A and B are shown apart, each in its own frame.
Chain A
Amino acid sequence: MTDSKYFTTTKKGEIFELKAELNSDKKEKKKEAVKKVIASMTVGKDVSALFPDVVNCMQTDNLELKKLVYLYLMNYAKSQPDMAIMAVNTFVKDCEDPNPLIRALAVRTMGCIRVDKITEYLCEPLRKCLKDEDPYVRKTAAVCVAKLHDINAQLVEDQGFLDTLKDLISDSNPMVVANAVAALSEIAESHPSSNLLDLNPQSINKLLTALNECTEWGQIFILDCLANYMPKDDREAQSICERVTPRLSHANSAVVLSAVKVLMKFMEMLSKDLDYYGTLLKKLAPPLVTLLSAEPELQYVALRNINLIVQKRPEILKHEMKVFFVKYNDPIYVKLEKLDIMIRLASQANIAQVLAELKEYATEVDVDFVRKAVRAIGRCAIKVEQSAERCVSTLLDLIQTKVNYVVQEAIVVIKDIFRKYPNKYESVIATLCENLDSLDEPEARAAMIWIVGEYAERIDNADELLESFLEGFHDESTQVQLQLLTAIVKLFLKKPTETQELVQQVLSLATQDSDNPDLRDRGYIYWRLLSTDPVAAKEVVLAEKPLISEETDLIEPTLLDELICYIGTLASVYHKPPSAFVEGGRGVVHKSLPPRTASSESTESPETAPAGAPSGDQPDVIPAQGDLLGDLLNLDLGPPVSGPPLAASSIQMGAVDLLGGGLDSLIGDTNFGVPPAAAAAPARLGAPISSGLSDLFDLTSGVGTLSGSYVAPKAVWLPAMKAKGLEISGTFTRQVGSISMDLQLTNKALQVMTDFAIQFNRNSFGLAPAAPLQVHAPLSPNQTVEISLPLNTVGSVMKMEPLNNLQVAVKNNIDVFYFSTLYPLHVLFVEDGKMDRQMFLATWKDIPNENEAQFQIRDCPLNTEAASGKLQSSNIFTIAKRNVEGQDMLYQSLKLTNGIWVLAELRIQPGNPSFMDLELSLKCRAPEVSQHVYQAYETILKN
């Protein structure tokens, strides 16, 4: 007997014929007719006209026929609500049938009929079925509550079904428990605030018991529900984990993933010192690997999840690199995901293998996959420094293949490698330039232009290369235009004499002929910078760029934590929170990982921070490649501003006079003081600037203060005779939030010096090198290098005597040398040291008088404005000014890197040239710094 014949009837008058058959007396014929109706319905024909006739067949004791009629009802009841009422009686009757299968069928079907009038009649039968003696009926009724809630939530609450459903969690039958949990979880999602799933240790215990007994699907419901529970302490978390781990051996991948979710979440609460924590980590790896032998679609889901898990806890799978190697027959979506995970797991230990694989992949056929493989090679270079050289040579090999998309992809990643390891692999530039003509993708063109601009001084024909791009300037994408503009300005600053014409051309293209605001703005900034202060322009445009971080494409930590709570679900597949793809309010409750409990030891203090906040050891996030380039472009504008406070302060101090003076000069006479480069500036330049570019001026004012704090001239710190011919002199600077130690190394010996390294002893403010000492070429005899060593203040702290003493060890191939130096305290004055006026008053009063220290600064012929300006550029901020009996009193504040505030009162007698001493009183909670702050004042004011 086959059913396919039902699909074949296409005659006219079919409905009429069916009608006759449906009303036939013979049972067999009736059933055949209903089957035909269902078949028509399946292929999309409208058979709703037969509604009354089909409903008539409902009263039958033939279960198969009944099921078919119910099927029809579910489909058409909504379009024929009035007639659907006719079926209600039969439903109600069926709900009391002695056969539990029929009772369940009736309640199941009724829940699927989304007609308000019917739902009213549903309540009574449903109430009975929820307490039915047969578990099969109860488990069906439990789901029916969720269905009804979806249609009419208020009704469900009013009728008290939710309480009955909660009771079912304690049912003796595991499947009833599982379905009740599933229904409650779904209802709870649409009521985020309600305490519907009131989970407590007792109910959790019941769920864990049912977990061992119910079907594989029931286990998933229960595990997903458990994942929402917040254990009260680490002990409870551990005991739940212990009872969930056996599920990791289940044949059903969804059970495994849901168990992984529970474990990943609760692990957050366990102390890392615990033996159990280590055991758990070890237990997680094998099941995750096993998921990779499932069917490809499940592999894909598993891989997307593993991608998250690897970012959250890289230690779990760090030894499992090989299982992520791509197989020739893997579907493309599996290949791409595996590649992603390979890069995340790449480390010094396995990099050789990984590179060999990647090189293999780069010769495959699928374009996306090949591109990703090439990009992966670049990412390996950035991530594992030891492999960089090998990666670069692999990339060069690939460029030689001349396969267009391979070449372009390789150039994009080589640009990143240059950023990570400046001045190391420039020898490859020539090869890159050979391929210039074949680049047709914006990203690759932009990358190449960046390289040419950045290394313009080493590329003989840089101007020709850039000029060739300029021809089709307006056809390029914004990305390329911006990059081209910056690159040409860089070129101009490096080789001003030959490239004047070029820079004028690009500036006028960007500012006059373009309607892209980003491009125009940037054009104007450069133009103005070049015309007012070429030195500042050089500092801004050619500023040293911070190195890019190792990890790219990381998911932002808070999102990652949220996604960990969604392991196994669609959110984890899309790597997006549910709110991004679910309509309406359902299922968009924000989830977060549990915080570590207080009972964990205090040694773990960095870990006790709430998990939502990224902990200190997490790498900086650089978003996806596209954004990365955006960052890059922004970077060209100048060193990153260290935070909003700085921007705010510079507006306060500089905005007024800059807007006034700067604009006047521009509007008054366009050619006033303009260097040759911008001599051709159009007269109408004034208009757009005055109209709406005031924010632009803030930026330039920021540039004005860029020169930063006062910098003492370099002093000899380590004389050559003490250090076998190595002479070190240096000074400290502070620029826009970063401290650096400017060193001058001179080789006064007869042999070449290499292998330089530097280390600081512990010191009062935790100063430490932020990067290794990079002396790129060996230092030959009589050669001198200037190095700026960035410093940070996160090193170990030990109080020194004197306070600002710094002991330094410098190593080279000859020996290790020690010296000590004193750093001026003002390099530690931070940019947000401006105290609120009220706060200042309160603090001044609050600090006891014995902490006040008085100093005199002799022979300092400065007026108030000059003094205040000088101090401000070294981050000593004037909060208020008062004139008392012909004396100016300045009230000032400053803050040290370690958060110590110093308040000052500076007394100046402006009108009296004979009396040139200034009086300074300082108040600080740590009075020992006062002496050094005073010295800083003196140095700043006198220079």
Chain B
Amino acid sequence: MLSSLYASFSLRRNAVDAFRVNVIHARQQVRSPVTNIARTSFFHVKRSNIWLAAVTKQNVNAAMVFEFLYKMCDVMAAYFGKISEENIKNNFVLIYELLDEILDFGYPQNSETGALKTFITQQGIKSQTKEEQSQITSQVTGQIGWRREGIKYRRNELFLDVLESVNLLMSPQGQVLSAHVSGRVVMKSYLSGMPECKFGMNDKIVIEKQGKGTADETGKSGKQSIAIDDCTFHQCVRLSKFDSERSISFIPPDGEFELMRYRTTKDIILPFRVIPLVREVGRTKLEVKVVIKSNFKPSLLAQKIEVRIPTPLNTSGVQVICMKGKAKYKASENAIVWKIKRMAGMKESQISAEIELLPTNDKKKWARPPISMNFEVPFAPSGLKVRYLKVFEPKLNYSDHDVIKWVRYIGRSGIYETRC
């Protein structure tokens, strides 16, 4: 394992050693992401086998430190891909340079990759004209630090992906213990100039506000609107405008970025229902039957369906019969994994298994972890619909109609568990 200390030079090496001994080589799970060793606080985040640590002796803003560590990961990933020992060794000069730019005396500075890439490159610095230089500095420090001026595309195009992960915890009796959708709207924009964008969706609050004027429409659109519990936005979105008018307006960064995140808990469409039945036959045998039912329009297809049925540690053998797809007992993962490539809406399928157990002296009961599920569906389980995304660029002569727009909905399973 490689521990890289980038952050502070005033720190002595023994701090690094202390961290290595106490956190990295501690033979147990991480019990806290903040570790205090000899009055020094270590914040640590692990990416594959790389530890990123920030160190302080002061009462710093802890949330900011972690946000910064994640941001650092994003920036590095944007420059050289996966964060691995190999890549870090290959790019250590670049990393130094990046750190020098985005962290000054412990204060994070502009960390938008869009802006950073204009003057920190892997190919070495091109000589810049004076104009270019001042453009860089004004962009890095400016109000719109995430976008540079003078971008030009022949074809103005944008892609919107509504990506949702639906989370469920269900009791064995089919009672929903908790369910929520956490969604993201990811935008890829290839637009010229400094376009002003306005994004609209079927947010209940907005629709009801508009519905006041035209009473008969409220009934229609009211049904389709959704209640958003909370949402957060990319820093390009004008938050005060959202707060006062609930309208989402912004000048987007160039390329891909996450416009917003949101969470809903009401009226969620649960794409699948899992019905488990576990029977203990004596001390050495378990009978498991699991039924899954798809619950969406028959014309839609769910993909990459995977059901994971945990088995006890003392399992000696498993026999499985399933109607659809393939099922396998994976001893190393202590689970039966049942995979189905595709499944249409309003269908059901079943698996049954006989699990042979070795007799043990272990008094401790098997904890029965929940049955979990993975899938992907081509709709938004929250019911969110994009109503519009308008683009205005007053200085250049293209209009909203000239922009080619694409919208896609993908619903994935988050933690989708049924207790058994």
Contact = CB atoms under 8 A, between A and B. Distances in A.
B89 to A, nearest CB: 4
Interface in B131-176: 133-134, 136-138, 140-143, 145, 169
Highest count of chain A CB atoms <10 Å: which of B13, B91, B239, B372: B239
A492 B138 CA distance: 85
B14 to A, nearest CB: 11
Nearest to B32: A333
Contacts of A112: 9, 105
Given A4-B90, A71-B100, A297-B66, A582 B233 contact: no
Contacts of A68: 93, 96
Given A296-B33, A333-B30, A333-B33, A216 B235 contact: yes
A75 B60 CA distance: 24
Interface string B30-64: 11111010010101110000000000111111111
B58 A325 contact: no
Contacts of B97: 64, 67
Contact of A331 (B29, B104, B260, B364): B29
B10 to A, nearest CB: 7
Contacts of B182: 293
A4 B57 CA distance: 32
Contacts of A139: 109, 141
Contact of A3 (B67, B90, B128): B90
B199 interface: no
A373 interface: no
Contacts of A312: none
Contacts of B235: 215-216, 250-252
B416 to A, nearest CB: 11
Nearest to B112: A215
Nearest to B241: A246
A578 to B, nearest CB: 4
B135 to A, nearest CB: 11
B107 A221 contact: yes
Contacts of A582: 39, 57-59
A587 B64 contact: no
B229 A289 contact: yes
A229 B361 CA distance: 64
B230 A62 contact: no
Contact of B243 (A99, A215, A246, A401): A246
A39 B88 CA distance: 12
B296 to A, nearest CB: 24
Interface string A216-236: 110011001000000000000
A146 B106 CA distance: 11
Contacts of A327: 169, 415, 417
Given A71-B100, A570-B41, A360 B233 contact: no
Given A327-B415, A581-B36, A297 B86 contact: no
A941 interface: no
A328 B370 contact: yes
Contact of B125 (A7, A64, A216, A256): A64
Contact of A363 (B60, B263, B367): B367
A289 B107 contact: no
B243 A249 contact: yes
Given A62-B125, A143-B104, A289-B230, A247 B239 contact: yes
Given A173-B142, A213-B143, A325 B178 contact: yes
Interface string A557-569: 0000000001011
A925 to B, nearest CB: 52
Nearest to A68: B93
Contact of B133 (A1, A99, A220): A99
A42 B29 contact: no
A134 B134 contact: yes
A287 B107 contact: no
A811 interface: no
Interface residues of A, number: 110
A568 B100 contact: no
A403 B243 contact: no
B86 to A, nearest CB: 7
Interface string A239-258: 00001011101111110111
Contact of B59 (A35, A146, A286, A587): A587
Contacts of B138: 134-136
Contacts of A357: 177
Q: Is the interface of A mostly helix, strand, loop or mixed?
A: helix
B107 A101 contact: no
A561 B286 CA distance: 54
A245 B239 CA distance: 9
Contact of A328 (B61, B94, B233, B369): B369
Interface stretch (A298-306, A376-384, A675-683, A827-835): A298-306
Contacts of B61: 220, 224, 254, 258, 568-569
A170 interface: no
Given A112-B9, A254-B67, A332-B29, A249 B363 contact: no
B280 to A, nearest CB: 15
Nearest to A260: B63
Interface in A21-67: 35, 38-39, 42, 44, 62-64, 67
A111 B10 CA distance: 12
Contacts of A3: 89-94
B392 interface: no
A172 to B, nearest CB: 10
A286 B66 contact: no
A194 to B, nearest CB: 18
Interface in B59-92: 59-64, 66-70, 86, 89-92
B57 A174 contact: no
Given A3-B91, A212-B239, A246-B243, A290 B141 contact: no
A569 B230 contact: no
Contacts of B134: 100, 134
A488 interface: no
B171 to A, nearest CB: 8
A886 B186 CA distance: 101
A330 to B, nearest CB: 9
Interface in B337-367: 363-365, 367
A358 interface: no
Given A182-B107, A251-B235, A403 B363 contact: yes
A520 interface: no
A363 B415 contact: no
Interface in A357-376: 357, 360, 363-365
A213 B67 CA distance: 19
Contacts of A104: 137
B397 interface: no
A720 to B, nearest CB: 54
Contacts of B108: 217
Contacts of A586: 58
Contacts of B145: 175, 215
B273 interface: no
B141 A135 contact: yes
Given A217-B109, A286-B230, 11 more contacts: A71-B100, A147-B105, A175-B141, A215-B110, A243-B240, A254-B66, A293-B263, A332-B29, A401-B364, A570-B56, A573-B62
22 contacts: A68-B93, A101-B137, A134-B137, A139-B109, A143-B107, A144-B105, A175-B142, A212-B238, A215-B235, A246-B243, A249-B239, A250-B233, A251-B258, A251-B260, A254-B61, A295-B70, A333-B30, A570-B34, A570-B56, A572-B62, A582-B57, A587-B59
Interface of A: 1-4, 6-7, 35, 38-39, 42, 44, 62-64, 67-68, 71, 74-75, 98-101, 104, 108, 111-112, 114, 134-137, 139-140, 143-144, 146-147, 173-176, 179, 182, 212-217, 220-221, 224, 243, 245-247, 249-254, 256-258, 286-287, 289-290, 293, 295-298, 300-302, 322-323, 325, 327-329, 331-333, 353, 357, 360, 363-365, 401-403, 566, 568-574, 578, 581-583, 586-587
> Considering the complex of A and B, which 5 residue pairs feature the smallest CB-CB distances, nearest first?
A286-B230, A136-B137, A254-B63, A246-B243, A578-B59
